[in-house]
């Protein structure tokens, strides 16, 4: 099977490892890929924001399947363009990708389909937003979201009226270009955040989905959830204290109304939806939709999935997903991100990395190879990932391999999964305060 994989980071490297683990031979081509992905297949330079460039390559190279890693190509219409050639694409149409590409569209979708979420106001005018802030009644922080894609930087939790005004004015002045000239204000939700991934295959005639295990990301750069937000410093799953009835609650309150809503709205879906969930005192509420796999959640999910990934993604891409419980290892998986100095404000690149022999899976995210030497080449540089019979054992396995990878300035959180482990050991459930 010839597969074109779009992307270049840790998520794509984890997908590539899993695609290659198929019993059937896989010919992998990554675009644009990376030096690390070049060791798992070919790489081709394509502009992922240009659907016709991707389609032109596909028309002459005829892959059996295209797998989209990031959201940007989907929002740009790469899924539509590839499907237009009759080539299966795991990745939604642009109209569906709008669920991530526009927070205002996503909120309207949630409200239209009765999906529990934070109360919100969408604002397109300076005076209206300033008045909203001055008469805000939902408590603090005031959550401000740039409507469009902002590379993960478009959400601000303003702790005061003054901070909200400064943030809002910067957004309206074009801090993220057109993406921030529409602003969604949200009431704050308090609780435990988790990541729920669902494979979805929806068109006018049929709708099916398959749940992946719930994971938890760790967004802050420092241990004990301190410091600025990052793309994610580590993740694990499934959550040890989530009971079957908790999964059922997310299925009935969030997932099924979403799948029905897609069909009612005439939106085709052929890929994954990653639901950002806040488990509040009222139960699970939806923070956001992503139309792609999470990073680093994918590194966890690929350790747990016990299916032929290429075959599974092709089922979705060809619109013949059979709703079912996916085969999973009876394990807990965990990934720890090794990040560059200065991340997340910047990233010190070009620093030589010492790599020994970790006893767990090494996942490249932002690396480059020069004269046989791996160098840092991004904010999130490498991941260590593994699965084990339980969360404590998974943590111990990663801890045992941490000494095998190093460079000056490397940042790592050694508390990935620790809060959840203590929560579970104390006999608490998802309903208890987090």
In the list ligand AMP, ligand GLY, none, the entry touching 155 (Cβ below 5 to 8 angstroms by class) is ligand AMP
Least distance from ligand GLY to the Cβ atom of residue 407, Å: 23
Binding-site member from 76, 189, 365, 412 for ligand AMP (CB under 6 A): 189
Compute the least distance from the CB of residue 341 to ligand GLY, in Å: 21
Q: How far is the CB of 231 from ligand GLY (least distance, A)?
A: 6
Sole binder of ligand GLY in the list 290, 377, 387, 411 (CB under 6 A): 290
Question: Of the candidates 84, 227, 240, 276, which one interacts with ligand AMP according to CB under 6 A?
Answer: 276
CA distance 293 to 19: 15
Tell me the window of 15-23, 118-126, 256-264, 290-298 that interacts with ligand GLY (CB under 6 A): 290-298
Q: What angle do CA 191, 192, 193 make, to 5 degrees?
A: 120
The reply to whether 54 sits near ligand AMP by the rule CB under 6 A is: no
CB of 294 to ligand GLY, least distance (A): 4
Q: Check: CB of residue 333 under 8 Å from CB of residue 43.
A: no
Residue 170 contacts residue 130 (beta carbons within 8 Å)? no
Residue 118 binds ligand AMP, judged by CB under 6 A = yes
294 contributes a contact to ligand GLY by CB under 6 A: yes
Q: Which is nearer to ligand AMP, 116 or 276 (CB)?
A: 276
Minimum gap (Å) between residue 118 Cβ and ligand AMP = 4
Q: Which stretch binds ligand GLY (CB under 6 A): 244-252, 256-264, 287-295, 378-386?
A: 287-295
Residues of span 154-173 touching ligand AMP by CB under 6 A: 155, 157
**Binding residue (CB under 6 A) for ligand AMP from 287, 337, 382, 388:** 287
Answer for which of 7, 77, 91, 232 binds ligand GLY (CB under 6 A) is 232
Q: Which of 12, 80, 147, 297 binds ligand GLY (CB under 6 A)?
A: 297
Contact partner, 227, from ligand GLY, ligand AMP, none, Cβ < 5-8 Å per class: none
Does residue number 261 form part of the binding site for ligand GLY (CB under 6 A)? no
Distances in whole angstroms, Cα of residue 401 to Cα of each of 166, 356, 365, 384, 412:
44, 9, 18, 8, 13
Burial class (CB in 10 A: 0-12, 13-18, 19+), 411: buried
Does the protein bind ligand AMP through residue 249 (CB under 6 A)?
A: no
Peptide bond into 32 cis (omega under 30): yes
The interface partner of residue 332, options being ligand AMP, ligand GLY, none and the CB cut-off 5 to 8 Å by kind, is: none
Interface region with ligand AMP, contact rule CB under 6 A, candidates 59-67, 181-189, 233-241, 341-349: 181-189
**Among residues 217, 246, 308, 315, which is the contact residue for ligand GLY, using CB under 6 A?**
217
Does the footprint of ligand AMP cover residue 110 (CB under 6 A)?
Answer: no
Footprint of ligand GLY on 25-64 (CB under 6 A): none
37 is a site residue for ligand AMP (CB under 6 A): no
Q: How far is the CB of 145 from ligand AMP (least distance, A)?
A: 6
CA–CA separation, 115 vs 198, rounded Å? 16
For residue 297, the partner it binds in ligand AMP, ligand GLY, none, with Cβ less than 5 to 8 A by kind, is ligand GLY
CA distance 153 to 137: 25
Q: How many residues contact ligand AMP, by CB under 6 A?
A: 12
Contact residues for ligand AMP, defined by CB under 6 A: 118, 143, 145, 155, 157, 186, 188-189, 193, 276, 287-288
Site of interaction with ligand GLY (CB under 6 A): 217, 231-232, 290, 294-295, 297
């Amino acid at each position: 099977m010839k597969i074109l994989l779009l992307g270049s980071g840790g998520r794509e490297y984890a997908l590539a490892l899993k695609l290659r683990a198929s019993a059937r031979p896989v010919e992998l081509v990554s675009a644009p890929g990376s030096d690390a992905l070049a060791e798992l297949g070919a790489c081709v330079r394509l502009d992922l924001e240009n659907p016709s460039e991707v389609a032109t390559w596909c028309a002459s190279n005829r892959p059996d399947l295209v797998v989209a890693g990031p959201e940007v190509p989907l929002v740009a219409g790469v899924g539509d363009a590839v499907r237009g050639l009759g080539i299966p694409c795991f990745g939604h149409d642009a109209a569906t990708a709008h669920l991530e590409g526009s927070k205002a569209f996503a909120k309207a979708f949630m409200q239209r389909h009765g999906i529990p979420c934070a109360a919100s106001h969408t604002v397109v005018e300076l005076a209206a937003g300033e008045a909203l802030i001055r008469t805000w009644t939902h408590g603090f922080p005031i959550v401000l979201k740039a409507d469009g894609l902002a590379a993960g930087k478009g959400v601000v939790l303003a702790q005061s009226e003054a901070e909200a005004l400064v943030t809002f004015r910067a957004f309206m002045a074009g801090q993220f270009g057109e993406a921030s000239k529409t602003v969604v204000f949200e009431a704050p939700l308090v609780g435990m955040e988790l990541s729920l991934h669902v494979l979805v295959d929806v068109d006018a005639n049929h709708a099916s989905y398959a749940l992946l295990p719930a994971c938890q990301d760790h967004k802050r750069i420092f241990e004990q959830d301190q410091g600025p937000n990052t793309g994610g410093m580590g993740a694990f799953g499934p959550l040890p204290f989530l009971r079957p009835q908790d999964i059922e609650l997310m299925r009935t309150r969030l997932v099924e109304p979403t799948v029905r809503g897609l069909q009612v709205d005439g939106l085709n879906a052929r890929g994954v939806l990653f639901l950002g969930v806040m488990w509040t005192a009222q139960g699970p509420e939806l923070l956001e939709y992503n139309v792609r796999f999470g990073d680093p959640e994918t590194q966890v999910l690929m350790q747990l999935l016990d299916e032929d990934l290429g075959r599974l993604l092709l089922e979705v891409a060809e619109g013949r997903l059979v709703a079912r419980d996916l085969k999973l290892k009876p394990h807990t998986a965990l990934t720890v991100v090794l990040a560059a100095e200065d991340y997340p404000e910047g990233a010190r690149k070009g620093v030589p990395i010492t790599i020994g022999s970790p006893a767990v899976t090494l996942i490249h995210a932002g690396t480059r190879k020069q004269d046989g030497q791996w160098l840092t080449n991004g904010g999130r540089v490498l991941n260590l990932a593994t699965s084990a019979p339980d969360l404590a054992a998974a943590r111990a396995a990663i801890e045992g391999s941490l000494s095998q990878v190093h460079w000056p300035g490397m940042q790592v959180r050694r508390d990935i999964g620790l809060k959840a482990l203590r929560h579970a050991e104390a006999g608490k459930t998802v309903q208890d305060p987090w």
